[in-house]
Amino acid sequence: MTISDTGAGPLSGLKILDIATIIAGPMAGSLLADFGAEVVKLELPGVGDGLRGFPPLKEGKPLWWKVTNRGKYHGTLDLRKDDGAKLFLDLVSQMDVLIENFRPGTLDRWGLDIETLWKANPRLVVLRVSGFGQDGPMANQPGFARIFEAMGGLTHITGDPDRPPVHTGYPLADSIGGLFGAFSICAALLKVVRSERQEGEEIDLAMTEAVLRLLESLPIEYDQLGDVRERVGNKNTYSAPSDVYMTSDKRYVSLAGSTNRTFRYNAAAIGQPELVDDPRFASNVARVKHVEELDKIFGAWIAAHTLDEVIASFREHNGTIAPIYGMDQVFDDAQYKARNAIVSVSDEDFGSVRMQGLVPRFRKAPGKIRWAAKGLGADNDYIYKTLLNLDDQEIETYREQGIL
């Protein structure tokens, strides 16, 4: 796929400058690139984004990197140096959005405070991603996904009640931050274009607060009832039966359903439709009170049947159960295949690689993934020749000075 390949989608024409690192900020940029935004990602010359060093690797090439920074133009710039800062501001003047995740005050120390950025581009939207926000007693503390999950309340409710809290094994908080980042950029841009003065916006995204926001009912539960939600393993605090069960062929399934209708379907699926007439199970509230009895009933039936038998019966009766997939099963699933949820993407190292497609789908402006993330500085010529009109000698001089 060539550098001239243009974006498609509802954000076509939007220009974003991404100087963030690792996952959350860059993911926000890639989500917008999926839907047509032109995203220029700048990294420190010779060093690059730390995500380039994250496993898994294939032939020394980082695979995670290829997804989190897909669809972007990749350049290098040391904006800590005076001439680098000037080039940076020249780029800022052409952009609609800047994404950064340095510790609060870092850009200010480099002479790139918000007023300087807005002087270069009064309409600029700046997304600042940090662990704890731009102010407060912990503003300058370092942050990682596990810290955000721990302090945001997510880890406390994850795991079995008689065991220590559990992290997911994947930096879920970073992905949460990426989603909030992309959403907040779109919200800010709408405000900019609707404003008569079309002033820019500065977005303060605290990752710990993003995790907390995702927990929806837990804060009001504590505020109004004094209850602190605790770990319940695979059970569900608001509906029953809801658990993870093993089939006779040692596969796992997850059962859900809170309404009387879904309970009726699920009871029929295990051949016990009379359960709906039992007073213990007459309502969701009653079923939650008698969750242990329901677990034994459903668990015993599932344990006596293979995965295929369980899924077939529940689908026949409109029940609400699902097999617990590994990624190999995701790739092989008929529903995912029918939806083309896993797509092949052009890649400079391996020809093509498969990864998730676009979520959600747009009917009239669907967007597309232009390419997997590239090598360090792969698009410097495009960025500095096409966008800033520098000639070869100027670019070479900047390279010799370590600015590019």
Region at 377 (left for phi over 0; alpha for psi -120 to 50; beta for the rest): left
CA 354/CA 365 separation, integer angstroms: 22
The whole-angstrom separation of Cα 291 and Cα 285 is: 10
Concatenating the DSSP letter of every residue in 108-160 gives HHTT--HHHHHHH-TT-EEEEEESS-SSSTTTTS---HHHHHHHTTTGGGSS-
In whole angstroms, what is the distance from residue 105 CA to residue 365 CA? 38
Half-sphere exposure of 247 (CA within 13 A, CB side): 19
Catalytic positions = 174
Pairing of β 61-62 and β 15-18: unpaired
What is the sign of the dihedral through the CA atoms of 163, 164, 165 and 166?
negative
For the chain, helix, strand, coil in percent to 5 are 40, 15, 45
Which single residue is written with the structure tokens 């009917």? 363
